Amino acid sequence: MRVTVVGGGVVGTMHAWQAVERGHEVVQIEREAEARGASLRNFGQIWVSGRAGGEELETALRARELWEEIGARVPGLGFRANGSLTPVRGERELAVAEAAVAREDSAARGYKLLTPAEARAVNPALRGAFTAALYCERDAAVEPRTAQLALRAELSKSPNYTFLPGREVREVIGEHAVRDDHGDVHASDTVVLCTGAWLGGLVRELAGPELPVRRVRLQMMQTDPLGEPLTTSIADADSFRYYPAYRGRALDQLNAEQPQLRIPAAHAMQLLMVQRADGGLTIGDTHEYEHPFAFDTTEDPYDHLAEVVESFLGRPLPKIRRRWAGVYAQCTDPARVVHRQQVRDGVWLVTGPGGRGMTCSPAIAETTANELDW
């Protein structure tokens, strides 16, 4: 078969990977010189721990397997099975962690509730005070700023793969073909649009104005090297409020008796933190849902995150090296991992994984390939 993939982010690149692996000829088209959206502006976390039970968890676990398999072939991904720790403080936060460990799918996630001493044995950098820590063994990480480059370098070894940057697809021509802004027509057996947060233009024309996907803006930052290993990813108890795995009576009591502080509540914040290959820490994040998005970043969320991190590490945070904002596409149907829609004969739109994009993209692409009988 001949497959055209539109979009050079992680979802598009994983679709290209699946097609090449199955012996097909692939043309991947990216409107920028390099992908510059949410696929690069994220934590690089393969985040199993907070996923909803059922299809979402199954997708994340399958994706975790695929990331590990691909990482063994492509060292440039920087894949590492580092797991995660969520330190908790007080009875209410502890009760949410205990409820998570009691889930029927707890073993599949690799959940364990650790004492502070046990948590520090896993991650000695956690010198601050906390009551206990929820450990998730199945969480992992890759390097988001280089993962697409490494994947594409490996794909480029195949004579069946062509990457065309700096081209915006403008039009669907008949069946199975698209025209780009250079005037070139790309005919294929299947076209897959993996356009990320680009939901206007051709996407709106093809999918219509009622596309069940919204755009979400976030803020993040990265520090200078920590000077010691951070052996796991780190979250805080505010993350319980945003991930479906933690919903239930214990979380309801936490929200009622220990509501989120003013600044994190105003910015829909949680702490997520992962160490990069250079030793620096990627720290975030906020969530903004109402359009139009602000064009600037605000300091209060960064100050709050720095305080939380320092309280866990028991030491000052290294100098902040970078701050940035990003936008991703999120399916508004909470029961769906991604929005997958046939928009023309032979043309499919795959978008809206939300904060699950980096985690789930290999399995999302595998499902597309299976459903389209590649």
Q: What pLDDT score was predicted for residue 175?
A: 83
Contact assessment for residue 48 and residue 61, using Cβ atoms and an 8 Å cutoff: yes
In the chain, which ranges are E strands?
Answer: 2-6, 25-30, 45-46, 84-88, 111-114, 132-136, 140-141, 161-165, 169-172, 177-180, 185-187, 190-193, 213-223, 233-235, 272-275, 281-284, 320-331, 339-344, 347-351
Domains of the chain, by residue range, sit at 1-81+139-212+335-374
Asked whether residue 227 carries a pLDDT value surpassing 90, the answer given is yes
Give me the count of residues in the chain: 374
Query: Which residues, 6+ apart, have CB-to-CB distance to 216 below 8 Å?
Result: 287, 288, 289, 327, 328, 329, 330, 354, 355
Q: What's the token pair of residue 286?
A: 């906020």
According to DSSP, the β-strands at 84-88 and 272-275 are unpaired
Q: What's the token pair of residue 246?
A: 């933690």
Q: Which tens digits make up the pLDDT trace of 247-259?
A: 999 999 999 999 9
Q: Which tens digits make up the pLDDT trace of 233-280?
A: 999 999 999 999 999 999 999 999 999 999 999 999 999 999 999 999
Tell me how far CA of residue 141 lies from CA of 2, 64, 358, in angstroms.
32, 10, 9
- Determine the average pLDDT of the residues in 56-76: 97
Question: What is the CA angle 248-249-250, rounded to 5?
Answer: 95
Asked whether residue 174 carries a pLDDT value surpassing 90, the answer given is no
Q: What pLDDT score was predicted for residue 337?
A: 96
Q: What pLDDT score was predicted for residue 300?
A: 97
- Determine the average pLDDT of the residues in 54-62: 97
Chain centroid to Cα 94, Å, comes to: 26
Contact assessment for residue 37 and residue 11, using Cβ atoms and an 8 Å cutoff: no
Q: What's the token pair of residue 339?
A: 């929005």
SS (H, E, C) 295-315: CCCCHHHHHHHHHHHHHHHCC
Asked whether residue 334 carries a pLDDT value surpassing 90, the answer given is no
Which CATH number is correct for 1-81+139-212+335-374, 3.90.800.10, 3.30.565.10, 3.30.40.10, 3.50.50.60? 3.50.50.60
- Determine the average pLDDT of the residues in 288-303: 95
